[in-house]
Chain A
Amino acid sequence: MNDSQQTSKVIARVAFLTSVLSMFLVSACGGAAVPQDQLTAAEAAARAAEVGGAPNHPKAALHLKYARDQISEAKKLIEEDETELAAAKLERAAVDAELALALSRVENARAEARAALEEVEELKGQTE
């Protein structure tokens, strides 16, 4: 197993835990508690997307930006004691970060496939 595969496994695990955690938190939160764990989870998901290469792919980068912007908004809302609104923002942020990572992984896989096929063409060209 190579490094990039290892990394993507770790990222997948982080993303999974994040989504499970955020789902649990959403159902748990409803009152006035500060959604600290949800904030942590959303930030972790955004980091995972960043490490997974989201900034390198336009569509993934866009969703990563949405995630980051909404995390910032949520932080502001937390300061203003608007915890319920903050939780909703974080929910959105988490799902955007997840989408950013997924889109990035799609692009990575496609790029790898393209590179392999290019190599195939090159090798075929050399032997002809």
Chain B
Amino acid sequence: MNPIVRMTGLLVTSLGLSVACGASLAPRELLDARDAFEQAKHGVASQYALAQLETAKQALQQAEAAFRDGRDEAIVDLAYVAERQAQLAEAAGELEKANRERSAALEEREDTQKDYRKRTKAELSAAQRELEETRRKSEAAGAAAAAELDAERVKRLAAEKKASAALASLEALAQVKEDQRGVVITLSGSVLFASGQDKLLPIAMDKLNEVARALKDQGYKKIVVEGHTDARGGDSNNLELSDRRAHAVRLHLVGQGIAASQISAVGRGETVPVAGNETPEGRANNRRVELIVTPE
């Protein structure tokens, strides 16, 4: 073949090809629309948004038709709309999917909340039960404490009553006063002893028995028995006599159950008068035995 003819044929062919290519070259917008539709077709839209996918398909077909018919002025806009319709279909699919996921999540939340409320309620009632139990226990403990306190009070009142009764009986027997030394019980000497004697009279014994009983009832820590005389007679005689009398009283009280270790006796003679020695009454008052009781 003639090289020139061959050359010309090649040129014509390539020219023809290039013309054909120019006519079939789709604009970028259409290519984008096709891609978008392919993506939508193979995505969630095919599962959840078939109607929108169909709309997108029709939009793409319009653009393709314009391209086929060579309506250049319409292609770009139609392709643009077709691309958006494809994206819309995909978004619709995504929306449906998201809505389903949301519904599931809301349902799960509802269930969890229900569960949570149930559990919280259970915990609350357990706590309430525990509280009730604790309160009941503390009330019981309080009642027991109060009862104990009451018993204590009753006991104390009884003791006080007994002590005051003892004191009253002592007061009936003898003169009772309180000074810095303690409770001082004064027994008249004329009731206890005959003149100049240190032997207790029978009536004195009865009286001392009652005093002993009262002292035991009231309770005591220490008792000092003091003997006193008036100023008649010699000093040493008086001291000796008062000492013997004090010891006689002490001995009798010990015999009546007063603890020997807690009771002592001492004679004071005429040294501690409580009245003048000039009159018979004064002297009678000075002749005495005093029990000085240190209370418990």
Report which A residues bind B (CB closer than 8 A). Answer: 88, 91-92, 95-96, 98-99, 102-103, 105-106, 109-110, 112-114, 116-117, 119-120, 123-124, 126-127
Contacts of B94 in A (CB 8 A): 106
Contacts A92-B80, A92-B84, A127-B115 hold; do A116 and B108 have CB atoms under 8 A apart? yes
Query: Could you say which of B94, B99, B112, B119 has the most chain A C-beta atoms within 10 Å of its C-beta?
Result: B112
Interface majority SS (helix, strand, loop, mixed), chain A: helix
**Known interface pairs A91-B81, A92-B80; 9 further A-B residue pairs with C-beta atoms within 8 A, sorted by A's residue number:** A91-B77, A95-B88, A96-B84, A98-B88, A102-B95, A106-B91, A116-B108, A117-B109, A120-B105
Tell whether, in the assembled complex, residue B77 and residue A117 are in contact, meaning their CB atoms are under 8 Å apart. Answer: no
Chain B residues 76-90 with CB under 8 Å of chain A are 77, 80-81, 84-85, 87-88
Tell whether, in the assembled complex, residue B105 and residue A116 are in contact, meaning their CB atoms are under 8 Å apart. Answer: yes
Chain B residues 95-125 with CB under 8 Å of chain A are 95, 98-99, 101-102, 104-106, 108-109, 112-113, 115-116, 119-120
User: Given the complex of chains A and B, what is the CA–CA distance between A120 and B98 in angstroms?
Assistant: 17
29 A/B residue pairs, CB under 8 Å, sorted by A: A88-B77, A92-B77, A95-B81, A96-B84, A99-B84, A99-B87, A102-B88, A102-B95, A105-B95, A106-B95, A109-B95, A109-B99, A110-B101, A110-B102, A112-B105, A113-B98, A113-B102, A116-B106, A116-B108, A117-B105, A117-B108, A117-B109, A119-B112, A123-B109, A123-B115, A123-B116, A124-B112, A126-B116, A127-B116
The yes or no answer to B92 lying at the interface (CB within 8 A) is yes
Tell whether, in the assembled complex, residue B81 and residue A113 are in contact, meaning their CB atoms are under 8 Å apart. Answer: no
**Chain B: CB-nearest residue to A109:** B98
User: Given the complex of chains A and B, what is the CA–CA distance between A119 and B111 in angstroms?
Assistant: 11
Report which B residues bind A (CB closer than 8 A). Answer: 77, 80-81, 84-85, 87-88, 91-92, 94-95, 98-99, 101-102, 104-106, 108-109, 112-113, 115-116, 119-120
User: Given the complex of chains A and B, what is the CA–CA distance between A123 and B112 in angstroms?
Assistant: 7
